[in-house]
Amino acid sequence: MSNKLTLTVSLAVLATMAAAAILAPVLAPFPPNEMVHAAFDAPGVGGVLGADGLGRDMLSRILYATRYTFVATLIATTLACMIGVSLAIIAGLSKGWVDIVIGRAVDILMSIPQIIFALIILAIAGVSLTTLILTMAVLQSSTYYRVTRPIAGDLAAMEYVEVGRLRGERLHWYLFKEILPNMVPSLLAQFGLGLSSAALFISSLSFLGIGIQPPAADLGGLVRENALALSTGRLTPLIPAFCIALFCLSVNGIVDWLVGRFSDKPDVK
């Protein structure tokens, strides 16, 4: 039952964060990039959560930052999933040299530490939101490939797929009737894990100053901007970081529930 509770809480947290991200323009008391308070105003004095070093309203900036983090994470993860799964299915069904080439390429991609790879690409191509998202999508697609390739391979070797082959079924039948339905549970779980690792990854890059560029800031960027204020003895600079942790914790909670649920076989009864 505690599993159910975790699920409910996780969903509630995610829904709240999503609402905050979508409704940021409505909810934010001030424009995020305008200096409306005195620098380093304490919470309560200048806005609910105080002001940053330039006198901008912290609450408004956090709402908008959540938006950036959400959008970037979601797009990058979806792209990564699509790239990885397509490659895995192509490799699994075609076998032969196509499989080998894709497999080698992914091996190489995975043998290089992701953050280093991202730093190099961003240094060369320059930092922009599009580059950031594309880089993340390509880097994380290797994970989806690694998870789905064996499934695609196993499934393609499954006897029930062989029965289809003996009958003379076409590719779209395999894909939509035999292979994809059986991949959904593990893909969903991987997508969840991918969301939290993408959120952590993008936040780390922004924290390093090579993610979303000022004056806009995502949650990681906000930590970078305000870290020095920690020395004043306030924890408010870390609120954005706690938001990331909360997001990941909730997503992982949902993944745990999913994994538990789909380990049972489906039945009509």
| Ranges within 45-104 binding other proteins (CB under 8 A) | none
Give the residue, chosen from 1, 97, 130, 159, that forms a contact with other proteins under the rule CB under 8 A.
159
Report the alpha-carbon distance of residue 86 to residue 82 in Å, rounded: 6
Report the alpha-carbon distance of residue 27 to residue 102 in Å, rounded: 46
Report the alpha-carbon distance of residue 198 to residue 74 in Å, rounded: 8
Q: Which stretch binds other proteins (CB under 8 A): 49-57, 84-92, 133-141, 159-167?
A: 159-167
- Name the amino acid, one letter, at 50: G
Does residue number 160 form part of the binding site for other proteins (CB under 8 A)? yes
Q: Which stretch binds other proteins (CB under 8 A): 9-17, 21-29, 36-44, 248-256?
A: 248-256
Neighbours of 11 (CB within 10 A): 14
Q: Per the structure block, which two tokens stand in for 109?
A: 């991609």
| Ranges within 184-223 binding other proteins (CB under 8 A) | 196, 200, 203-204, 207-210, 220, 223
Please report where in the chains the tokens 């969301």 appear, as a residue: 195
Does residue number 182 form part of the binding site for other proteins (CB under 8 A)? yes
CB of 25 to other proteins, least distance (A): 26
Report the alpha-carbon distance of residue 173 to residue 257 in Å, rounded: 30
Does residue number 34 form part of the binding site for other proteins (CB under 8 A)? no
Rg (CA), the chain: 22
Does residue number 35 form part of the binding site for other proteins (CB under 8 A)? no
Report the alpha-carbon distance of residue 76 to residue 98 in Å, rounded: 25
Residues at the contact surface with other proteins, assessed by CB under 8 A = 107-108, 111-113, 115-117, 119-126, 158-160, 162-163, 165-169, 177-178, 181-182, 196, 200, 203-204, 207-210, 220, 223, 227, 230-231, 233, 235, 237-238, 241-242, 244-246, 248-249, 252, 265-269
